[in-house]
Structure 1
Amino acid sequence: MYHGITPSTPTADRTAIGPRRTATLEPDEALRLLGTVSLGRIVFTRHALPAVRPVNHIIDAGDIVLRLFDGADIAALTAPDDCPGIVVAYEADAIDPKTDLGWSVVVTGYALPVTDGRDGQRYGELRRPLVGGPMGCVLSIRPGLITGFRLEKA
């Protein structure tokens, strides 16, 4: 007996597109695509294990900027003053559920808190949080490695 998740879109819709292939994205194109969506997932270490949280973001001068709830486990990603940041990964995608065509981007880099209050206020004006509540923590991810691919018709 099958106990897995069944697809919400009939297979016939997907096969009508025909064969697909993946095309590697250049880092600049991957970062540009990341800027076209507002929701992604940050991957970080919590209690020595990988953790993933959905967050919304903006791209500012090549950095990925996240506003976080005060006291959130992600907000604890602070580094000592002599540290370049905490290594995290950030992933976002836009894949059509009917055709399975689209793209996916993963950025690995250093996350640091944004301490300039003017920047924090500006980021608050650029992106509203997903839900209400105090959003006093702003985190900036400086990309070190940007990878991505596009799913397209073959």
Structure 2
Amino acid sequence: MNTPLNASEIERLDLRQCLTLLRSQAVGRLVFTEQALPAIRLVNYSMPTGRIVLRLGHAKWVARLDRTVVAFEVDDFDAGARTGWSVVIVGKARLILDIDELVSLNDPAARSWAPGPRDQVVSIDMERVTGRRIRVTASAS
């Protein structure tokens, strides 16, 4: 008697799927270079007008992000079901200093979860967006 076994497959996601998944979360990982080494920070984000917007504190590394290429990753998974997805964005970061732009990006729903002042705003252009999903498929053996 053949018994179905669980197998998995990796699916590449198109841009629309990636953007939908990005909008479903509130926390992602900012990846950048700090003193010639990789650095990763867990951050809240929002997605107004087709870009990633971060509200960050006054750490020294924040100002160094301006006009540098960064990566931003968001994911979700179910360890029990062995399923999940990941979306990665690569683009240029820009420190927002223009008061009109800052006002237009002020969304109370996008407040940072981290304590303390979060008054440095960084925008990441979505120059490259890739996504993958791992899902379970049934196969007979």
Tell me whether the two structures share a fold, i.e. TM-score over 0.5. yes
CA distance in structure 2 between the aligned counterparts of 1:130 and 1:102, rounded to whole angstroms:
24
The aligned length equals 133
Q: 1:32 to 1:105 in 2, by over 3 A?
A: same
Q: Which has the higher strand share?
A: 2
TM-score (norm 1): 0.78
**Residue identity matched to 1:28:** R
**Residue identity matched to 2:119:** G
Q: Does 1:140 align with 2:123?
A: yes
Do 1:17 and 1:153's aligned partners in 2 also have CA atoms closer than 8 Å?
A: no
Deviations 1:70-126 (A, max 9, x none): 235234312xxxxxx210000010111211212110000010011233443443513
**Residue identity matched to 1:65:** V
**Residue identity matched to 1:137:** Q
- Indicate which of 77, 84, 96 corresponds to 1:102: 84
- Indicate which of 119, 135, 141 corresponds to 1:152: 135
Structure 2: runs of 5 or more not aligned: none
**Residue identity matched to 2:54:** L
Greater displacement, 131-140 / 17-26: 17-26
Do 2:82 and 2:136's aligned partners in 1 also have CA atoms closer than 8 Å?
A: no
Name segments (4+ residues, structure 1) moved above 6 Å.
none
TM-score (norm 2): 0.85
Which residue is 1:53 aligned to? 41
Which residue is 2:23 aligned to? 35
The CA RMSD measured in Å over matched residues stands at 1.9
